[in-house]
Amino acid sequence: MFSSYKEQINKIIDQLPEDKVLDVLIAAEFAKERTDFVQYLTKKGVIVTELIGERQDFKEKWESEFTKTIPKEMKKEISFESFLWHVFSYEVLDCIEKEDSIVAFNNMKKENCFAFYQHLDLVYKLENASSITAADFEKEQDIFVADEDYSWTYIHTHETECGPYFYKKS
């Protein structure tokens, strides 16, 4: 079965113009990165379930739980829709940043969590997640981790000068 898929992919690639072959390479590299990430967490004892197509629900829940008191006008001013983490970089919400955020996240009890990306339609349900640390997300871009009750969140951004951020509801 596996070799059949490879054969099908190779036949398709053979029919593509050269500039479209790069698109296939990028997609394959992305799939490999996601696979490596899930396998890495699994080796740490985390039960990872990929929830494809559910990012919008998790994004809306995250926004509802952590930013519901922020006026729409303020969200527009800080380009919140572009990057949810702007509520921290623009200091609209008081959070823990940089190394202190890493320490805070690492010290949190993490039994069951969710992780979603700002711009990818992918959510990870992370069960038995007590072994995860901030280092596990260093290569990820614009990833939001929250416990199942949304009482805290940890964000690793794509910007080296912004974040990571940790926020816990009071």
User: How does pLDDT run across 31-62, given as a tens digit for each residue?
Assistant: 999 999 999 999 999 999 999 889 999 999 99
Q: How far apart are CA 138 and CA 163, in angstroms?
A: 11
Quote the pLDDT of residue 5. 87
pLDDT digits (tens, 9 = 90+) for 132-163: 999 999 999 999 999 999 999 999 999 999 99
User: Tokens 């990571």 appear where?
Assistant: 164
Q: Which pLDDT score is estimated for 4? A: 86
Mean local confidence (pLDDT), 19-25: 91
Q: The whole model's pTM is what?
A: 0.90
From 56, 5, 60, 11, select the one nearest 31 (Cα to Cα).
5
Mean pLDDT of the chain: 95
Sheet harboring 143-147: ordered strands across? 47-52, 122-127, 112-117, 143-147, 152-156, 165-168, 96-97
From 51-55, 60-64, 87-91, 162-166, the region with the lowest mean pLDDT: 51-55
